[in-house]
Structure 1
Amino acid sequence: MTSENTLKTDLWRAARFSVAPMMDWTTRECRYLHRLLSKGTLLYTEMVTAPALVRGRAMHLLDHDDSEHPVALQLGGSDPQELAEAARLGADAGYDEINLNCGCPSDRVQSGAFGAILMQSPELVAECMAAMAEAVDVEVTVKCRIGVDDQTPEEILPTFLEKIRAAGVSRVTIHARKAWLQGLSPKENRDVPPLDYDLVHRMKAAFPDMHISINGGIASLEEAEAHLARGLDGVMVGRAAYHQPADLLCAADPRIYGCGSASDPVDVVRQMLPYIEREMQKGARLHQVTRHMLGLFAGRPGARQWRRHLSEGSSRKGAGPQLVEEALDLVLARAA
């Protein structure tokens, strides 16, 4: 087996469980936390637009810590050559995978002719993916919806998958909802259109050679395991992994990957302290890190005290790692 195939095999295994790209949420600080919770889970950046990298030269958007691997860069765009150049920049920065966003329904994304609106142009997506694949050695993948607006998912989704597969894409994540580009806000598009998990499972049966992950509304490891048991290759979790990270990620390694042991959120907080110190020495504010940690004890004794202490104190002048230690002491006191 070649080194390239070995890397692909490792990444496909990691993709059994992944945390979705989420704007303003899956920042590098968030990904550092999530990696401490799970060694195996595949992590994704926020969406980074190709124009920001290629025209704006905003290279800071590619910053990440070596410990985040395996980690994928998600790009937004619709110009094949610009996406190819952005993919090259991402691969040169060390990302393990380059993913194209074909699922975001925001107005800003639509105006740039990318995101979910690309579900209406499968030939263009195929052209983009072929250009990206030609430009980089790392795997290129797609995250999409089952359709948009008045499209019939049972018709458009197989066509879409056929087109991107022919362009060299062998791994895709499908958000099991339509996106309504007219009439629903981005927030409503995350909840209002009905989920159609069965359609995604049928796509796996129709495209057995593709690695297909499911996304949308999955809020527990038990649900993820059920989808994997039915034959899907991977499960991507979004908001639940952000708001209840310990519930989704602490036991992912032994339960999803069959290796390692469950992590302890108390230990993870202590491991975050040197990272917080380093980031603050580089000019970061405490809140930039701790805002991603608020849900770490969700549903556990002391969760309210933890959230309140961090929320109220992290923006104060002079706040630092000691505040996090104080919040952790409140959790431990409640659990005693």
Structure 2
Amino acid sequence: MAVPTMINTWQMVEPGKLEKTQIPVPELADGEVLVEVAGCGVCHTDVGYFYDGVPTVQKPPLTLGHEISGVVVKAGKDFENLVGKEVIIPAVMPCNNCDICASGRGNRCLKQKMPGNSLGIYGGFSSHIPVPAADLTVVEDRGDFELKMLSVVADAVTSPYQAAMKAEVKEGDLCIVTGATGGIGVYMTQICSVLGAKEVIAIARNQEKLDRSLNFGATKAISTQDKTNKEVVAEFKAYCKEKKLPTAGWKIFECTGSKAGQEIALDMLSFVGRMMVVGYGMQKVDYMLSKLMAFDAEIMGTWGCLPKYYKDVMDYVLAGKIQVKPFVEYRPMSQILQAFEDAHSGKLTQRIVLVPDFE
């Protein structure tokens, strides 16, 4: 397979500014491989880095992009067998050699490598990317899925799966997803359903997108458009009364990262409930912590996904139990700035996957 001497890339030279450039292919260390990028998804996190001043570990210039699929074209020592293999690159790759990793929480390893953030200058909006090889997910048989489509498995699908694992979603559970129509929310509803949740209530603004969620895991949709939080909670309680469901013990997945979404999730948290903070935002919210004591409730954060879960997620996707195709659109990577602008607008109904077109 062709091994280039230079990597074509779209660098963020500073927040809000992109530059098409070339960087040398580095000498691969033992345990590293060079992947030719098939596709890279545009994530809300990328938009946060680019427009909103969310800091990256590696300071600009760097290339963004962490939802990556591709083909290994070169390998360092001990991983030569991966050359020619189709792979998905985990959005966060732990060091596998620290106390946090040993505790089973490697998804939040402080030495982790995240393309487009903490993998030096390297990210997915490129022709190629050098990455650690140990936690790559090899795609053995993708059926009729295009490899570029599977890029969204990294982060968009696996991060909500990690949230579900941490929340211990199981058969018969009662779940709520705020931001259920967003880039992560559309998979959060499906994952809760796949894992056996009895109820999955989708909460968001757009009624058309909410109606769609009923075909992808949600059992009830509640629009927040022109409603107060009190009215949203009242609609939820009315549904519980109609279906003879308890209002206690729900598992809430807050996927918006917005102040409004977080406030709704907090208002819905009740006795022996559990709230998972899945979406990221920079706004602050007020909450009376003593409610957690009174409710015997929990609020937990969740970050990325352990690489060990990628195989399970891939199996669900390839089996059609988690639907990806309705939520993905392709664009050439040369349209990256417009893609960022469209993603930042919040009006997209599909996640953009950028496909390298540097030739």
With normalisation by structure 2, the TM-score equals: 0.27
Task: Tell which has more relative contact order, 1 or 2 (C-alpha 8 A, sep 6+).
Answer: 2
With normalisation by structure 1, the TM-score equals: 0.28
